[in-house]
Structure formats: C-alpha cells, structure tokens
C-alpha cells in the first residue's frame, strides 16, 4: 500500500514526519512483515531488532546516516494496531483470497486492483460465514488452554464450504484473526490430506471398472485382506503400509474398510486401479494436477498429497453433485463505474460417472452412520464424509457433504514462532487429534446452522450394480476401542 499507508498503520504519522529509527523499521518489515511483527508476535522482537540494526548499519555505510545519529537511536515500538482494522477477523483472509482469485483467473491484474475503482461482489454469504466462525470457536478455539498446554499453541484451523450445485463458495474460515495469523488455513497447501483422499481411490475403481488381483469387480461389498503391513500385490515396488495403531482386520469389505479407514486395503486398491488412474480421477474431481506429492503409486491412497482445504472442498462438492464438476468461484460480479467486468463463464462437466460418484457417496454415508465420523450425525440430516489424519498427527481433517452443502474442515499444527509443522498430540488434552473429533464436530455444528430452516434433503443415488448394503450386520457399530483413532494416517 506504500510508505504513507505503512507510516500511518504502524506509527500514526505521515511518511514525511518519520524519523530514521521508524523509517528503518518499516524498511526492515518489507523483507518479511509477519516475521518482524513485534506487536501481534512479541517473540519476534529479537529478529526484528537485528534486522532493524542491519538496515541502520547499511544506511551508515551508504553515507545516508551519520554514525553519531545512528548511535543514539532506540528501537521504535509500533503502535498497538499494525494493520488496518478493516482486515481484522476473517476479512483479511477473504480479501486476499478474492485478490488471488481475480488475478489467478485473469479477471483483473494486480495493477488494475492497485489503481482501484472496482466494486467486487463475492459469493460469500454472511450468515453462513458467521455460522462457520461460531462453530470453530465453539468446538475448538474456546477449548484451547495456551497458557498451560504447549500443544494448544500449535492449533490452527481452516475451512471452506461450497454449494455443490453451483460451485459457489458460501463460507471460508482462514484462522482466528488475519491480524494474528496471516496464513489462510483454507487456501494453504502444505499439509497432507490423509485419509480424506481414500474416496477418490474408490471413485476411480468404479469409474474405471477396476478389479481385484483375482479379477473380482471392486464394489462396496468386495472383500480385501486388511492385515497390517500386508505387502501390496501387483506393484513393482516394495510397499507394505501400516494400519493405524498397527491393527489387522483380516478379510473385510470395502465399505467396512472405509468406515475404519484401513490403509492396507486402500493401498492395495490403488495398485489394483493403478496409481495413474487414481491420480487422474482426483484431478478430474478438482484436485490441481500440480499438487505436491500427488504421486501415482499405491501410497497415493493414504493422502500424502498436500492439497488445500478449498481444493478438497471442490473435489467433494463434485461427489455431492453426482460427479459433475464445476470449478469453484468466489466472485459473483465485478463492476467499474457501474459497468460490468467480464468474468469467464464457469463451465461444468461430468468429471466421473454418476454411478461412480453416487456409489462413493453410499460408502461415505456408512462412515457417518457407523464409522469414524459418527459425530457428523449431529448435523441432523443425511450426510456423507471421510475423516483423515496427516503423518505424525500434524493435521486432522473431515471432508463431508449433504445434497445441499459440501464442507471441509482441517485442524493443523504449526509452531507460532518457527512456522514449522508440529504434531497435535495432547492438543485439547487429548492423546491425539482425530478427524472424527473437532473437525467433524465443527462440520456438524456449521452444517446444522448453515442449513437451518431448509428441509433436509436425502441423497438421490444411482448405485453401481451390487453396491447395495448387504445386510444391517455389515454396518453394525464397532466397539469404541476399535474405532478410536481409525481415521487413517499416512504410512
């Protein structure tokens, strides 16, 4: 925004009135504004002072400041508010996401936005946005004890919600406050998605008419060997993934293996379908082709890829929309001086067959009814979804949908000082952060509130032949000790 805006934001002065000490701090900030912010993050002060000294020393070397003037300067603490309050709360996350969308989709250039004069209307619905923030606060933030539990200081969250019929983003949760945590939890793409990726493997199996190693069609009722560390067959490499808690399940149906997120089953299924086809199906559903660690090997099934929350929401919205994919949109309209700016039309296509998408939905309904995501039933309407956990418990996910709304929630661990990913063991006083815990609870409260007053719609599914639930016994609840922690996790 320029030196004048910075002088006002940090010191309440016009740029012309800045002394060398204050000017040097603003110059130091350009290198890394969040890392040298000493108001929102007092722990940054040593690094900020060092950078400030570096700038002043450089000024002396260049002859722009005398050594005597330099010697008498003291570090000038900024005023309490370091960024315009207009970007506080969720607003900053939304503004940055909208700017990225406008430039990324070639609607406006950065230069055009800098010149200003545009009126931009987003797809965000304020009531749903408020519902999302309240759900995260109620089910996660309010339960943190950052003073007495170090793990709670690592906790961050991200969420996105899309109308599957239109592709419009109706709500987005970026973090506790843009002024305190600058990285948007909904759009960052550096945490593994864990077992929320598994449904894409099954969708690909149905889409491609894939069979097991012994030639049987893959359906929800197909049996697989769920033995822990079972070597994957039909794969040129050596791969024997671990199940969560080292559990072995023996012969188990695909439906039940999805309920319990059995890694050995899904790694084998990915080999049966082929990693290349699984990867292509994920891309067709909405996952970007250049997503890091989206490798076409059996390990793809365990969610080693690092897609963003928003990208995962787009893919799950495609499943909710019977396999029809429309790229998400954050923009309703853009005008300048009352004249509309052309926005590229959102084209939709049948990414995967309705049979493949709907059969996956049938399986994911079981996850909510009797699997790792039973907390989602609190939404009070038919729902489908999948839990997931990143390697070393650095993130926990729930991706779910009703016929009217697709929403993904992730709780992530990050050191507030170093920004390194951190395990969430003991966060909220729990041994581990499971996708079936806070992420699903947030999803349920948000979905219930966001759809309040709207009649509960049931899924209209066209299933793969033979995909019907065989018998109630197949979906019988498992003892809690067996279910605990079974929301996947990478090998």
Q: Which domains occur in the chain, in start order?
A: 3-71 (1.10.3810.10), 194-483 (3.40.710.10)
Supply the pLDDT for residue 3.
87
135-140-144-149 Cα dihedral, nearest 10 degrees: -170
Tell me what pLDDT residue 40 has: 67
pLDDT of residue 377: 97
Question: Mean pLDDT over residues 95-102, rounded?
Answer: 93
Instruction: List Cβ neighbours of 142 (8 Å cut-off, separation of 6 or more).
Output: none
pLDDT for the residue 110: 85
pLDDT in tens, 373-427: 999 999 999 999 999 999 999 999 999 999 999 999 999 999 988 888 999 999 9
318 has a pLDDT exceeding 90: yes
Write out the two tokens for 293: 């660690």
Q: Phi then psi for 411, rounded to 5 degrees?
A: -110, 125
Instruction: Provide the pLDDT confidence category of residue 329 given band limits of 50, 70 and 90.
Output: very high
Give the pLDDT of residue 488. Answer: 42
What is the pLDDT, as a whole number, of residue 83?
A: 52
Q: Is the pLDDT of residue 476 over 50?
A: no
Residues in CB range of 94: below 8 A, 6 or more apart: 122, 124, 172, 174
Residue 95's pLDDT is 93
What are the pLDDT digits (tens) for 3-47? 888 888 888 888 899 999 999 999 999 888 878 888 767 778 889
Query: In this predicted structure, what is the pLDDT of residue 81?
Result: 56
Q: Band of the pLDDT at 85, cuts 50, 70, 90?
A: low
Report, as an integer, the average pLDDT of 451-473: 79
Is the pTM above the cut of 0.85? Answer: no
For the segment 337-365, what is each residue's pLDDT rounded down to a tens digit?
Answer: 889 998 887 678 999 999 999 999 999 99
For residue 392, the 8-state DSSP code is G
CA distance 195 to 242: 13
């Amino acid at each position: 925004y320029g030196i004048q805006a910075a002088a006002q934001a940090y010191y309440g002065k016009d740029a012309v009135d800045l002394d060398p000490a204050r000017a040097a701090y603003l110059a130091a900030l350009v290198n890394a504004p969040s890392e040298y912010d000493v108001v929102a993050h007092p722990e940054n002060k040593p690094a900020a002072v060092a950078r400030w000294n570096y700038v002043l020393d450089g000024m002396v070397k260049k002859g722009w400041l005398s050594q005597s003037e330099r010697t008498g300067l003291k570090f000038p603490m900024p005023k309490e508010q370091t960024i315009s309050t207009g970007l506080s709360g969720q607003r900053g996350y939304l503004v940055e996401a909208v700017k990225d969308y406008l430039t990324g989709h070639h609607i406006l250039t950065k230069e055009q936005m800098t010149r200003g004069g545009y009126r931009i209307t987003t797809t965000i619905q304020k009531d749903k946005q408020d519902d999302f923030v309240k759900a995260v606060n109620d089910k996660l933030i309010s339960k943190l004890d950052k003073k007495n539990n170090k793990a709670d200081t690592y906790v961050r969250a991200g969420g996105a919600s899309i109308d599957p019929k239109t592709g419009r983003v109706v709500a987005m949760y970026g973090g506790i406050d843009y002024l305190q945590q600058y990285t948007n939890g909904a759009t960052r793409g550096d945490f593994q998605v864990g077992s929320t990726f598994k449904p894409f493997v099954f969708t690909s199996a149905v889409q491609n008419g894939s069979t097991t190693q012994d030639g049987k069609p893959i359906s929800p009722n197909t049996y697989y060997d769920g033995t822990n560390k079972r070597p994957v067959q039909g794969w040129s490499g050596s791969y024997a993934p671990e199940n969560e808690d080292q559990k072995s399940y023996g012969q188990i149906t695909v439906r039940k293996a999805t309920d319990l997120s059995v890694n050995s089953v899904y790694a084998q299924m990915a080999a049966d379908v082929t990693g290349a086809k699984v990867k292509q199906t994920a891309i067709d559903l909405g996952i970007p082709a250049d997503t890091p660690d989206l490798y076409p090997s059996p390990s793809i099934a365990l969610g080693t890829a690092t897609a963003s929350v928003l990208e995962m929401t787009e893919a799950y919205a495609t499943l909710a929309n019977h396999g029809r994919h429309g790229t998400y949109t954050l923009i309703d309209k853009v005008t300048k001086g009352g004249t509309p700016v052309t926005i590229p039309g959102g084209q939709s296509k049948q990414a995967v067959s309705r049979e493949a998408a709907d059969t996956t939905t049938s399986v994911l309904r079981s996850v909510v009814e009797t699997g790792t995501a039973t907390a989602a039933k609190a939404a009070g309407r038919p729902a489908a979804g999948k839990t997931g956990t990143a390697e070393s418990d650095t993130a926990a996910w729930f991706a779910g949908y009703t016929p009217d709304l697709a929403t993904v929630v992730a709780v992530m661990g990050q050191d507030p000082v170093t920004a390194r990913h951190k395990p969430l063991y003991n966060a909220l006083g729990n041994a581990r952060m499971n996708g079936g815990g806070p992420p699903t609870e947030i999803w349920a409260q948000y979905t219930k509130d966001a759809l309040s007053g709207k009649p509960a719609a049931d899924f209209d599914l066209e299933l793969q032949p033979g995909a019907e639930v065989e018998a109630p016994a197949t979906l019988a609840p498992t003892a809690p000790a067996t279910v605990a922690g079974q929301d996947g996790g990478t090998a």
